[in-house]
A and B are shown apart, each in its own frame.
Chain A
Amino acid sequence: MPGYYDIDDIIMEEEAVSVVFHVGANGVGLLDPGSETNCVEKGAKIDLPFWLSQELCRRRAVSIIVPPCFNQKMKKDVQADAACVDLGTRYPYFYEFGCKIFPLVGDKSIGPFLRHTFASRYKEMLSKSHTASINAIPKFVLRLSKEEYQMFDAAKSSMVEYKKWRVSHLGLTKSSLLGHKRKTDSQLSPSS
């Protein structure tokens, strides 16, 4: 489970989801732009951030509507060509969000759908990460979700380190935290 201080997890939980209230709530009218009073009425359908929806759903105060990233259209897009689906722009936390929302919406197909999407996209990502050059960013990288990008980056940097280790002299260098390094330094030795 992601930690309390995990920034990616916190940002991911800011995603908006549509919920339907089973109860009324006083003093929170700001949540509902359509509300005339300072209350949310029972039956109201509004968008709430996921962190709030999650807790309210667990206490059966609301039910969460399946978000668009897991609907039929998305499933069809993935079926057609998984690698072309732009998760980077549309749903950067696709997998993490899916894992968290899946037990709350009661849609059993989300789990296998996540696995299938990941597996289909993994092959292309794996091959491209090992052949990507140090400086250029391939276009397909922009379509990767955050989690996929972390994997891509790890694979790419391990390839880069391996190549450096094979040909270079491991020298000491100025800390990468201090300003910009000269190109010649970075070609000769890895950062500390």
Chain B
Amino acid sequence: MNTTFKNYQFTMLDKIYRSEEEKERALRLNKDRKMAQSQGVTVLTDAIKACSEEIDKYKGKLVVKEGARAEMYARRAAQLLQELSTCEEGQLPPYNSDKFDQVIRECEEHSKQFQSLIREKNSKNLDIEAKNEDHYGSFIHHLSLIRNKRCLMAYVYKRAEVIQSYRWKVGRVLPEEIHDKLNFSEQEYFKNHCAVIDSYTKDLDLDLTVDVIPPKDPYIRVRVLSEIGEVSLGDHSVSLCKDSLHSLRRTDAEPFISQGLMEEFME
């Protein structure tokens, strides 16, 4: 029994000893791993530092020729129009004065180049009709100028057409959401356009901005959506309070309905 107990003791001790050994080994390994990790991190950090220094050496010196080509020769002007064409029919994106001004600067650049090439050609004392490399170069700059002009004109003109439609579809007063998308000149243009239509209406004594769809009934029932207040209609006045119902002449109600201030009440 003693031997068995002793053997057991040895086995236990052995086990304990082994587990201690393993613990130590594991600790050692962990320590090594951590050391390795921190060494690895150092290597990486050093590498990053070296790369950054290298990049900084070349900062500001790299010239991307492809980028420049993309910007000259009316590419930017065409982008202005793309913006406009992707917008829903009858709606406008905000006036892009940054891009617009950039195109104007490009035009100045083309004009400078054009003149310098013409001077170059003249200095060679050739026949005025002669077509040398300077001639073709200046011609390309001229074409770029008129292309830019066409894009800018179309941009402003197309927007002006939509602004014209506002008088017919919305009325004399533009809601803020629309007003904010126009530049100063466009806001002026809208006011002037309204004045021209008013002048025509007065000459003719006929309001063309009402009666836009074929009438079925001279009177319609309406519900007031937003507080409008006291309004004079012909020979009497009406109090248009929010949520009130009225029977109005269709032509009187039309301007309020198109602005969303009242709706036709349908049973």
Contact = CB atoms under 8 A, between A and B. Distances in A.
Touch A–B, Cβ below 8 Å:
yes
A177 B84 contact: no
Interface string B75-112: 10010011011000011000000000000000000000
Interface stretch (B7-15, B148-156, B187-195, B227-235): B148-156
Q: Which secondary structure dominates where chain B touches chain A?
A: helix
Interface stretch (A5-13, A97-105, A119-127, A134-142): A5-13
Contacts of A6: 154
A121 B1 CA distance: 103
Given A5-B157, A26-B134, A178 B140 contact: no
Interface centre among B133, B138, B178 (most CB of A within 10 A): B133
Interface in B178-210: 178
B128 interface: no
A171 interface: yes
Q: Which secondary structure dominates where chain A touches chain B?
A: loop
A26 B119 CA distance: 12
Given A30-B73, A52-B147, A192-B213, A177 B158 contact: no
Given A4-B153, A5-B157, A172 B266 contact: no
Interface of B: 65-66, 68-69, 72-75, 78, 81-82, 84-85, 90-91, 113, 116-117, 120, 131, 133-134, 136-141, 143-144, 147, 150-151, 153-154, 157-158, 165-166, 169-170, 175, 177-178, 212-214, 216, 220, 250, 253-254, 257-260, 263-264, 266
Contacts of B158: 5, 7
Nearest to A184: B266
A4 B81 CA distance: 13
Contacts of B81: 7, 10-11
Contacts of A31: 69, 73, 140
A158 to B, nearest CB: 16
Contact of B264 (A56, A172, A175): A172
Interface of A: 4-8, 10-11, 14, 23-28, 30-31, 33, 39, 49, 51-52, 55-56, 59, 61, 169-179, 185, 188-190, 192
A30 B140 CA distance: 12
Contacts of B72: 30
Contact of B175 (A11, A24, A178, A189): A178
A24 B250 contact: no
Given A61-B136, A178-B260, 8 more contacts: A11-B85, A26-B134, A28-B141, A30-B68, A172-B253, A172-B257, A176-B169, A179-B260
B73 A52 contact: yes
Given A10-B78, A25-B140, A175-B260, A30 B65 contact: yes
A169 B266 contact: yes
